[in-house]
Amino acid sequence: MDQLNRRKMLLMSGGMLGALGALGTPAQAAATDPKWVWDPEADPLLARIFERGQVPEVNRLLRTWTRNDQPLPDGLPADLREFIEEARRLPSWADQATLDRAADFTQRKGTYLVLLYGMGGGILSTAIPNEARAVYYSQGGADLKDRAAKTGKLGYDLHELNAFRPDGHILVTAVKTRLVHAAVRHLLPQSPHWGGEIPISQNDMLVTWHTLPTYVMRKLTEWRVPVTSAEGDAYLHAWRVTAHMLGIRDEFIPATWAAANAQSRQVLDPAMGPTREGVDLADKILAISARGITPDGSTRPLLNALARYLVGDRVADWSAVRREPFWSPLISTGFPAWVALREHLMPLPLVPEIAWTLDEVVRQYILFYLSGGEQISIEIPEGNRPS
């Protein structure tokens, strides 16, 4: 059986498993292995769009679709329009009041989130072989700065204070990201450099998900950043809704932090390790970040030390992040002191608002730098990484 026929068979089995999970009992759903479930709604749709040669036109039309409440542009294929209209709906269990509490949490903890998503989660992703190879050999691997801008947009849109409200952007960004994932699943098995199973399974998406909210909450706890139960639950709820919008099936999304930590140990920990592709990606992430701070990249040693502090020596060694004897001791002692000072000041009048404004300036600068000042448009890739 050739690879493309095998791919079709696996997609069919993924659709069958997904249907069983959605229609069966909770016990049957829990027994479904997310390693063999992909996206039975989006995957065949993207295959048809590729077969009809409609990707360039779809990308052109969707560039103008940016807000949660915005009608879809005219001219989209009927099957794509039908899919998006369904995919853009919040799940029935989403609670707007809880999402608003998550926005308040974001306002107070935004500095940590920017740092942990961008640097921490970015380096963690390079030490996940499946993800590192999928990024490296897909179209985004050829222009990592552009890919980082589009990945960053998801996190930034999620943490807008109006993220899930009509004038927010996260629902659009999540649906577009879901389409990109389906396109990568269609394209990568055709690459002579891939040679693996279909990428971005439900398990792969869960692995990545745990490098974001689960990792963030673990680091906040480690740094002794005060987080109330209500704040923590709201933050988790926002990320659970986002997981649903990205196409992760509800039965796989952990409902509590205890479940999230247990699932992280089950799926993320054994999925990590070194690859040549991951080392290359980590080097590029740090080089791009350093040039964003100083054009000559002279801040690279500082960022190497910061990356090691955020992800730990084992992950940093897997990704070949250089050890920095001068900067590392300074960061390991200075960073906790900075966190303690920041948390001491946060209860004072206007401090949360000022902190949020400064964080927003940093976010916008990062996006401006990564995008070259152009509007960031998440688009369906038309091919794999050029050889």
pLDDT (0 to 100) of residue 140: 86
pLDDT (0 to 100) of residue 5: 45
pLDDT (0 to 100) of residue 151: 81
**CA pair distance 96, 355, nearest whole angstrom:** 24
Q: Record the tokens describing residue 158, joined without a space.
A: 């999620």
List, in order, residues 6 or more apart from 95 with CB less than 8 Å away: 237
Q: Which of 198, 201, 203, 204 has its CA nearest to residue 7? A: 198
In 59-97, which positions are buried (b, 16+ CB within 10 angstroms) versus exposed (e)? bebbeebeebeeebeeebbeebeebbeebbeeeeebeee
Q: Is residue 383 part of a domain?
A: no
Q: Is residue 380 part of a domain?
A: no
| 3-state SS class at 138 | strand
Number of structural domains the chain divides into? 1
Q: Which of 158, 164, 167, 205 has its CA nearest to residue 184? A: 205
pLDDT tens digits, 320-333 = 999 999 999 999 99
The dihedral built from the CA positions of residue 337, 339, 344 and 350, taken in this order, carries a sign that is positive
Q: What residue has token string 């988790």?
A: 236
pLDDT (0 to 100) of residue 369: 53
Q: Is residue 376 part of a domain?
A: no
Residues counted in the chain:
387
pLDDT (0 to 100) of residue 294: 87
CA distances from 333 to 127, 222, 286, 328, 386 (A): 26, 14, 22, 9, 44
Q: Is residue 377 part of a domain?
A: no
pLDDT (0 to 100) of residue 184: 97
List, in order, residues 6 or more apart from 247 with CB less than 8 Å away: 39, 41, 42, 87, 178, 181, 205
Q: Tell me the H-state helices in 94-162.
A: 96-115, 122-126, 129-137, 144-158
Q: Is residue 379 part of a domain?
A: no
Q: In this structure, which amino acid lies at residue 188?
A: L
Range of the domain at 268: 3-88+95-371
88 phi, psi to nearest 5 deg? -80, -5
pLDDT (0 to 100) of residue 61: 98
Q: Record the tokens describing residue 199, joined without a space.
A: 């990428």
**CA pair distance 43, 56, nearest whole angstrom:** 18
Global confidence as pTM: 0.88
**CA pair distance 165, 224, nearest whole angstrom:** 31
pLDDT along the chain (387 residues), means of 10: 43 35 38 90 98 98 97 98 98 97 90 89 96 94 82 87 95 98 96 90 98 97 96 98 98 98 98 98 93 90 94 98 96 90 77 66 56 78 89
Q: Which of 252, 233, 234, 231 has its CA nearest to residue 243? A: 252
Q: Is residue 378 part of a domain?
A: no
Instruction: List the beta bridge partners of residue 138.
Output: 384
Q: Is residue 196 part of a domain?
A: yes
pLDDT (0 to 100) of residue 31: 54
The dihedral built from the CA positions of residue 232, 234, 236 and 238, taken in this order, carries a sign that is negative
Long-range Cβ contacts of 330-336 (<8 Å, 24+ apart): 330/305, 331/302, 331/305, 331/306, 335/223, 335/309, 336/223
CA distances from 164 to 102, 170, 181, 287, 377 (A): 10, 6, 22, 33, 19
